[in-house]
């Protein structure tokens, strides 16, 4: 599991049913849960789900690397949103201490490789990679990593900002080639043309609703530093499959 943002009354139940329906073993579904950064639209559903269904799932590992809010100022983020992030981190700590004492808590760093059953996760970037640059927004603290399953690769960028993504492109180059891309910051601003060209995915995941995907100037690439979105949607460059959040999509790696 990666992140898990806004929620309504039905989302938690749908997620539980999905996990049970796709559980390869007897007993409770076993989960590793990774968080890219501490924003409400990446943690609310996860925290609600973890609290509500702690008796019906087993989390074997929590994986995250959040900055110390007291030590690293977030200069442009409103104080109320910084406090919201602090509360999310504290809530996660509470849930682990209360319901998931047996889970491994893994603080990942750039260069780490995590091997799970049938899966390899290569961590490329954390907030530590960006330091000592100024953290204008919590998005600058986003982790980025590649998940490999059945020789297919998925790039997860969370909400990485433009400067984060330019750094990734400079540092890793053609190592970044992946089959699937979760676009930076929901497919709004933050992506990098250099990075997207290195990844060159055949499948693009837009964590945004259908209306925004079709009409928003950031998603369409009509805003400054959003040329990456225009490029990745351009069928004359390459025909890709695009999926937005208004529909539920299940991708099977063996069929890619």
- pLDDT per position as a tens digit, 1-52: 999 987 777 899 999 999 999 998 889 999 999 999 999 999 999 999 999 9
Model pTM above 0.85: yes
For residue 109, pLDDT over 90 is answered with yes
Q: What is the DSSP letter of 247?
A: S
27/14 Cα distance (integer angstroms):
18
Peptide bond into 5 cis (omega under 30): no
Paired with 145 in beta bridges are 123, 156
- pLDDT per position as a tens digit, 86-102: 999 999 999 999 999 99
231/81 Cα distance (integer angstroms):
32
């Amino acid at each position: 599991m990666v992140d898990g943002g806004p929620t309504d009354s039905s989302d938690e139940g749908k997620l539980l049913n999905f996990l049970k329906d796709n559980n390869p073993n007897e007993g409770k579904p076993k989960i590793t849960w990774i968080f890219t950064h501490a924003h409400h639209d990446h943690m609310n559903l996860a925290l609600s789900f973890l609290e509500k269904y702690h008796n019906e799932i087993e989390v074997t590992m929590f994986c995250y690397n959040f900055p110390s809010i007291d030590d690293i100022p977030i200069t442009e983020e409103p104080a109320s949103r910084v406090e919201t992030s602090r509360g999310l981190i504290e809530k996660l700590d509470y849930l682990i201490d209360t319901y998931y004492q047996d889970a491994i808590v893994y603080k990942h760093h750039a260069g780490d490789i995590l091997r799970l059953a049938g899966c390899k996760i290569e961590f490329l970037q954390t907030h530590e990679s960006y330091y000592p640059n100024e953290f204008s927004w919590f998005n600058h603290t986003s982790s980025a990593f590649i998940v490999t399953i059945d020789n297919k690769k998925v790039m997860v960028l969370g909400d990485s900002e433009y400067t984060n993504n330019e750094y990734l492109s400079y540092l890793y180059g053609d190592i970044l080639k992946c089959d699937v891309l979760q676009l930076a910051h929901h497919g709004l601003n933050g992506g990098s043309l250099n990075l997207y060209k290195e990844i060159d995915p055949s499948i693009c995941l837009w964590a945004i609703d259908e209306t925004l995907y079709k009409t928003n100037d950031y998603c369409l690439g009509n805003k400054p530093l959003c040329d990456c979105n225009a490029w990745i949607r351009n069928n004359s460059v390459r025909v890709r499959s695009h999926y937005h959040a208004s529909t539920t999509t299940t991708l099977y790696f063996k069929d890619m």
